[in-house]
Structure 1
């Protein structure tokens, strides 16, 4: 039976192929990009997920920061959701050489091709700037018998422990994979979003839940949940979350880092790449960007160009060790 993801990607691929084979497509060679190139008019910033999620929010923050620079361009976010990111990223392949197109992506750009047969990898696009990192916490209901992540792993070796996950290749899945490497055995209930995972925990459909710090903090403040550990390198710099120990403090060799970054299509010129790196750096000095990091409890990051590409290479090797 053909999987839904494969069917969707086949349709996307057919559309791109027909577009490429249109009469005259091979005759429309683009002129060289001038040294003083700057984008003009509308610039698309694609995000491969639905409006309202973390990826969409990060894209809109970066778009606003760029637009506040007052250049001769206007960045507009375009959502192209489907297939856990596969539809949007497959579609973005058709923008090759277009300096007026941006892509705001995250960790799943590395992990999705390791799990599914898709026509792209992270190397299919031009890395510009990684602007933030995120991680995960693990929480349980306040009346849970578990007090630490180590408790959860130990218990799962003797009885069924059920967790939720908002995707097979995202940050939640990485947390579960890390715990499995520590000897844990879990039943996993798939959900469409972090919000649904937390609702499932409240409704006693699952026992524990991995989620972003920003999404669980209100539940910790209300007393509905208790935090078992963070998957960060160090504790959060936050009055409440700073009291939560890391998994490593509990004797587990488990850590999850989620990157967020901006890409351009493959085939753009060095002039175009350097322009966007420069303006993205300027946008990251804005109050909009600083407020975003603070509100979402993100880790600041500023890795660009070749350094970003090398980071992605190392990250991909790490993910292969976890997911394969």
Structure 2
């Protein structure tokens, strides 16, 4: 018979609840002390639409975290628009919660410097820098410019004579990726005619159609057209030559212009992210970036591995900020 004297039942239940609460509290305190934070259901916020470089890398990170059983419930969420404001607004709704992270990308600093972003990049938690991507300078295969020095000579003589296509906005990392070495070469970059396109695929189409003379674009957008012989790549802003099909293309440094424009991708945490959550994220990213699948992914896109932990990332981004600010000021895009 399942009977209970009510006062005794109440007392027993109270003891059990108190014990459970105390046990849970002790477990939570122990977890916090040991830094043993475990990810729950989370989101990887991408400040761009599906299919591009930012989306592709975020999905690979999420995929590898799931394969390694490090973060089974991480979903990639695309939040494009608003000069990346929409993505950061989404991250701001989860301050101090490591289950919500976003793509860390150099263009966030560009938008901040340009005054188009009502957020400070430095207020967020740098988790890690993962890799560098490179901007190339491209002309049609039948272009009169056979090498970068011929193009530089034309820009010096008449900076506004050629139409230069970039994606996706004036003053972004791709614009800076062509402007910074040209500035070093003595070109008046503030007078250049730069035309923004919604995507690099659109700017490359405009180049082939004769609507543009030059395009600046990142390497994943160029492989097919280069292999087909439709375009000529004059220079790449990398520290050393890339693998085929770009192994025949000189770097700016090789051409005597000592500039390596930086454009790094990584993972950004929310504001006030606790130390124990940050440490878990760093370890997870170290694990997946050591895999063959990740290294093959970088090689396929002609990206260079560049893993930096939080403190190193902050120092690197601070230097990037100074360099970007200098070029955007020279372009006349920074409000005085």
TM-score of the two chains, using structure 2 as the length reference: 0.82
1:231 aligns with 2:237: yes
Q: Which of residues 215, 218, 225 in structure 2 aligns to 1:219?
A: 225
Q: Which residue of 2 aligns with 1:6?
A: none
Deviations 1:76-135 (CA, angstroms, capped at 9, x unpaired)? 101111023122123322221112111112111221100024221221210111111111
Residue 301 (structure 1) aligned with residue 300 (structure 2)? no
**1:305-324 superposed matches below 5 A:** 305-324=310-329
**Distance in structure 1 (CA, Å) of the matches to 2:171 and 2:155:** 22
- Report if the CA contact (8 A) 1:152-1:161 is conserved: no
> Equivalent of 1:172, from 145, 153, 174?
174
Cα-to-partner distance string for 1:29-70 (whole Å, 9 max, x where unaligned): xx9772343334311100111111111111111111111121
Q: Does structure 1 retain, via aligned residues, the 8 Å contact 2:138–2:215?
A: yes
Unaligned runs of 5+ in 2: 1-27, 330-336
* SS of equivalent to 2:98: coil
Secondary structure of 2:312's aligned partner: helix
Report deviation, 1:233: 1.7
Q: How does 1:1-324 map to 2 (within 5 A)?
A: 34=32, 35-71=34-70, 73-159=72-158, 160-166=161-167, 167-178=169-180, 179-181=182-184, 182-184=186-188, 185-236=191-242, 238-324=243-329
- Structure 1 CA distance, aligned partners of 2:225 and 2:218? 12
After superposition, the C-alpha distances for 1:224-261 in whole angstroms (9 at most, x for unaligned) are 0011111112111x133111111232233433121000
1:72 Cα deviation after fit: 5.9
Q: Which structure has the greater CA radius of gyration?
A: 2
Contact 1:61 1:288 in 2 (8 A): no
Counterparts of 1:171 and 1:118, CA distance in 2: 15
Conserved in 2, the CA contact under 8 Å of 1:134 and 1:259? yes
With over 3 angstroms needed to count, the CA separation of the structure-2 counterparts of 1:42 and 1:303, relative to structure 1, is same
Helix, strand or coil for the counterpart of 1:50? coil
The answer to whether the 8 A contact 1:134-1:298 is kept is: yes
Tell me how far 1:296 sits from its aligned partner. 0.4
Q: Secondary structure at the match of 1:55?
A: helix
After superposition, the C-alpha distances for 1:203-225 in whole angstroms (9 at most, x for unaligned) are 11100111112221211111100
Structure 1 gap segments, 5+ residues each: 1-30
Partner of 2:15: none
* CA deviation after TM superposition for structure 1 residue 322, in Å: 1.2
| 3-state DSSP of counterpart to 1:41 | coil
